[in-house]
Amino acid sequence: MKKLLITGVLLVFFSSCKKEKVSKEPMVYQPSEMAALMNRMYEENAKIKQQILNGETPENFPEEYLKIHTATLTDPSDRTSQFRQYSDLYLNNLRDIFETPKDSLKLEFNEVINSCIACHQTTCIGPIPRIRKLLIR
C-alpha cells in the first residue's frame, strides 16, 4: 500500500511538471503607425535642416504628415485635445517653412522643432534629446 501511495504521488508530481515550450524566436518590435510616422518626420526634418544649412529652400510640404491626426498611437489615450493642438501647431509651423523667405528659414525651422519638443514634453519625453539635435544653432 505504501508503494502504491508513493507511486501515485510521484506520478502526480511528474505529470504536473510539464515543460512549456519557450519560443526561441526573438520578439520583433512593431512600432505603432504614429511611431513610424514620427520616425519618418524626424528623417525628413533632418533633410530639411541640411537643405537650409546648404542655403537651399525646401520645396514640397510632406502631405503624409497630415496623417498625424489619424495614425494609430501606441497609447490611444494620448490622443487628447492638447495633442490635436500641438499637431496643428506643428503642421502650421512646417507649412510656414515652404512659404518663408530664405533669410528666415533657420528661425522658422527651429519653430517647427520647438513645437515637436513642446508636445513631447507633455506626453512622450523619450525622444526629446534626439529631436533637439535637429535645432539649427
Mean pLDDT computed over every residue of the chain: 88
Provide φ and ψ at 72, rounded to 5°: -70, 125
Beta strands in 18-97 (DSSP E): none
Tell me what pLDDT residue 79 has.
Answer: 92
Residue 35 domain boundaries = 31-132
- Under 8 Å between Cβ of 119 and 87: yes
Mean pLDDT throughout 82-103?
Answer: 95
**Domain assignment present for 4:** no
Mean pLDDT throughout 88-114?
Answer: 96
**Domain assignment present for 14:** no
CA distance linking residue 43 with residue 114, whole number of Å: 16
Total domains, the chain: 1
- Under 8 Å between Cβ of 134 and 110: no
From the list 72, 85, 1, the residue with the least C-alpha distance to 37 is 72
pLDDT, tens digit (0-9, with 9 covering 90-100), for 55-74: 999 989 999 999 999 999 98
**Domain assignment present for 10:** no
Mean pLDDT throughout 108-129?
Answer: 96
